Amino acid sequence: MLKVGLTGGIGAGKSEVSRLLASYGAVVVDSDLIAREVVAPGTPGLAAVVAEFGAGVLLPDGALDRPKLGGIVFADPARLAALNAIVHPLVRGRSAELESAVGAGDVVVHDVPLLAENGLAALYDLVVVVDAADGTRLGRLVELRGMAEAEARARMAAQSSREDRLAVADLVIDNDGPLELLEPQVRALWEQLQVKAAS
């Protein structure tokens, strides 16, 4: 089994790379999806979030109001750290469970947005960083995701710098251009990963 850490700043295109790798046959362990799973209604994770942040972060149906919580934590590093202290151990535990179910020759791609921030590079056989210039990322967040520019800048600022992400990279996917330039790079990456997994 080859364990790959996949990361990239918000708006860099990491999710598209992850989707392509899954379509080629990679086993993708998506930390964002798991982070939602571990704070679903009725979970100990959600109870811990409510204990820390109050019932005001819940929707009327009892689910987590993610935009409201995001507004709190992305504006305050101490509150973000408090949330991470609850969610990250739960995500790591669930990721390990999913990984334990794969075959010996599989390529397991851990899609981890905050890999650099949390010093997780050593957990993987190699780290792939999806990279795009800050201006490109900001444009995508505003134009494609409909974020206000101030919110997009706050979310970008809450993550590691581009330089810090690149410093942990074993391989880099350049996604500063249009989508059609991305697929050939990801296909070539997949071929490299398969060779490494088989060796």
pTM value is: 0.81
pLDDT of residue 104: 83
Q: Could you give the CA distance from residue 86 to residue 83 in angstroms, rounded to a whole number?
A: 5
How confident is the model over 54-83, as a mean pLDDT? 93
Q: Tally Cβ neighbours within 10 Å of residue 79.
A: 15
| pLDDT > 90? residue 75 | no
Residue range 175-198, pLDDT digits in tens: 998 888 999 999 999 999 999 998
Residue range 81-136, pLDDT digits in tens: 999 999 989 998 998 888 888 888 899 999 998 899 889 999 999 999 999 999 99
- pLDDT band for 10, please (50, 70, 90 cuts): very high
Q: Could you give the CA distance from residue 111 to residue 115 in angstroms, rounded to a whole number?
A: 9
Domain boundaries, the chain: 1-26+106-199, 40-104
Residue range 15-62, pLDDT digits in tens: 999 999 999 999 999 988 999 999 999 999 999 999 999 999 999 999
pLDDT of residue 98: 87
How confident is the model over 61-70, as a mean pLDDT? 94
Q: Could you give the CA distance from residue 88 to residue 198 in angstroms, rounded to a whole number?
A: 31
Q: How far is CA 24 from CA 19, 54, 79, 115, 128, in A?
A: 9, 43, 38, 23, 16
Instruction: Tell me whether domains 1-26+106-199 and 40-104 share a fold.
Output: yes
pLDDT of residue 131: 96
Burial 55-68 (b: 16+ CB within 10 A, else e): eebbeeeeebeeee
| pLDDT > 90? residue 167 | yes
How confident is the model over 146-170, as a mean pLDDT? 92
CATH code for 40-104? 3.40.50.300
CATH topology of domain 1-26+106-199: Rossmann fold (3.40.50)
